[in-house]
Copies of this chain bind each other. A is one copy, B any other.
Amino acid sequence: MIRIGEVAERTGLTPRTIRYYEEIGLLPGPPERRKGEHRAYDDDDVERLSELTRLRDLLNLSLEELKQLVEAEEARAAIRKQFRESDSDAERLQLLDLALPHVETQIGLVRRRMEELKRLEAELVEKRKSILARKRELAS
């Protein structure tokens, strides 16, 4: 178990930011904790925060939008827990079917973003080509 200071160091965030994320419901938040006690985190929490900021930066999501994704993620976490405790295979299959669309959603977001970037890149490369062409023309 580690404390908020170390989490901050390892994620590149500040303690304030981490508390703020918890405040707005972005983190599952250590619910087992009496007011005033120090928050306790583990490596998974660090991992989670890192992924959140990655999504935020790469997809340009607001914290509110991020929250939507997170709620889906939390549902998945709950599902995983149930999954491990589950006994019948039929039930397990059903849980996996629930987990899948969340991942698909994220993949879709990432791919759309990549498409836009590819278009932009193509246009820039075209621009460069035209400059280089004019250079060759002058050099001849």
Residues on A lying within 8 angstroms of B by beta carbon are 54-55, 57-58, 60, 89, 92-93, 96-97, 99-100, 103-104, 106-107, 110-111, 113-114, 116-118, 120-121, 124-125, 127-128, 131-132, 134-135, 138-139
Please name 6 pairs of A and B residues whose Cβ atoms are closer than 8 Å in the assembled complex, sorted by A: A96-B138, A100-B132, A103-B131, A106-B124, A110-B121, A113-B117
Given A107-B121, A110-B120, A89:B128 Cβ within 8 A: no
B100 and A58 contacting across the interface, CB-CB below 8 Å = no
Least Cβ–Cβ distance between A72 and chain B, in angstroms: 13
B135 and A93 contacting across the interface, CB-CB below 8 Å = yes
B100 and A131 contacting across the interface, CB-CB below 8 Å = yes
